[in-house]
Structure 1
Amino acid sequence: MSQDVTPLYVADVSAFTKQLRKSLSEADTLPGHAAMLALVAKAAGFRNHQHLKAAQPAQVDLDELALKRALRVFDDTGRMFRWPKWTKVQGLCLWPFWAQLPAHQDLSEKEVNAVLKGGLSFNDHVLLRRSLIDHKLATRTIDGRVYRRIEQRPTPEALALMDRLKDR
């Protein structure tokens, strides 16, 4: 059996226990584990145990270490002041820049540089521009004249980083 934790909120414990006692009294023998899970779920108002599990909100575990390391490279104003060492953290730190690039729009190298320079306090926007390509957050033509943001859903860590940078 799975070791997943399934939290259960019961609004009315009295009604829950009455329903559970009624279900247990109808059974000839003491139910097994899976049957007991089903009885508990039904007493709580769900169709079965799977319905109870499906009703639970998805738990998103953030990589707190990567998020903490990413926040260290941004100053109090939300500008990046150094390039992180870890590749995973580097990719995470690119998301705020990705979010500033206009969606569904072709950009020149000059326009991309202007966006990147606005969020940096060190002078290496070229590193960030190349990293956006390497981390598949943007594309460019072979001659490097046209850049475009790749539309995708940011990771939960990226969303958390951008939220925390807004507060600065």
Structure 2
Amino acid sequence: MTKTPIPLRADDMTHFARALARQLGDTSPSHLTLMNMLARAAGFQNLQHMRGATAAAKRLDRPDDTHPADARLVERALHQFDAGGRLIRWPSRRAVQTLALWALWAALPPGICLREHDVNDILRREHCFDDPATLRRTMIASGLMTRKKDGTDYQRLEQKPPAEATALIRALTARRRARPAEGQGAGHA
């Protein structure tokens, strides 16, 4: 017969160890020894290992950006994209252009060298005004993509997008997933 696991949760191990020590009475080991025993029972080497792992987990849960995304700028950029996540027109404002480029950057496969026609195909799927050359050149000038001097082997430059770009990419990813597959539904202009 298999046993059903029973989860144990203690918000503070110190209080848990003290309560356990009271139950054990005179036979209880020292507080520190008991804390180390509990840490080992939880799968850690000792109490210090458990403290370090807990602190690291908290740091990883915290967002890296100290400033939140500018929601108004992200909203302005979102207005430049259709319901399927395609760029409708080239934005007039520079800040919105930059965010739009990040959205196109996210559509390119990471770590893969592409030929010019492959980049053009991807960009054509992601915008409606049929000017992949301008988008390609602007992405290179902005440091989002690189190419060889002879115009071959385009590659997305891997980097961390700013907070606004991350928010825009997240919103557009949802729109792109809802987009009908190629050959289905209505096409784009």
Q: TM-score range by the shorter chain?
A: 0.5 to 0.7
Residue 116 of structure 2 aligns with an amino acid whose one-letter code is E
Q: TM-score with structure 1 length normalisation?
A: 0.63
Identity, in percent, stands at 41
Q: Does 1:131 align with 2:138?
A: yes
How far does residue 167 in structure 1 lie from its aligned partner after superposition?
A: 3.0
Tell me, what secondary structure is at the counterpart of 1:93?
helix
Measure the CA separation in 1 of the matches of 2:114 and 2:84.
26
Aligned to 1:101: 108
Measure the CA separation in 2 of the matches of 1:143 and 1:160.
35
Aligned to 1:85: 92
Aligned to 2:7: none
Segments of structure 1 that go 5 or more residues without pairing to the other structure are 1-10, 12-53
Tell me, what secondary structure is at the counterpart of 2:155?
strand
Measure the CA separation in 2 of the matches of 1:149 and 1:77.
22
Residue 92 of structure 1 aligns with an amino acid whose one-letter code is L
Superposed CA offset, 1:105-154 (max 9, x none): 21110110011001111111111101110110001111212211101111
- Within a 5 Å distance, the mapping from 1:31-42 to structure 2 comes to none
Segments of structure 2 that go 5 or more residues without pairing to the other structure are 1-10, 12-57, 176-189
Q: Does 1:159 align with 2:149?
A: no
Aligned to 2:122: 115
Tell me, what secondary structure is at the counterpart of 2:76?
helix
How far does residue 84 in structure 1 lie from its aligned partner after superposition?
A: 0.6
RMSD: 2.5
How far does residue 166 in structure 1 lie from its aligned partner after superposition?
A: 2.6
Name the count of aligned residue pairs: 119
Q: TM-score with structure 2 length normalisation?
A: 0.56
Q: Which runs of 4+ in 1 moved over 4 A?
A: 54-59
How far does residue 60 in structure 1 lie from its aligned partner after superposition?
A: 3.1
The structure with the larger Rg is 2
Residues 1:167 and 1:128: Cα distance change in structure 2 (over 3 Å): same
Superposed CA offset, 1:42-100 (max 9, x none): xxxxxxxxxxxx98945432122221111111011111110111112111111222122
Tell me, what secondary structure is at the counterpart of 1:167?
helix
Measure the CA separation in 2 of the matches of 1:165 and 1:148.
21
Measure the CA separation in 2 of the matches of 1:151 and 1:129.
16
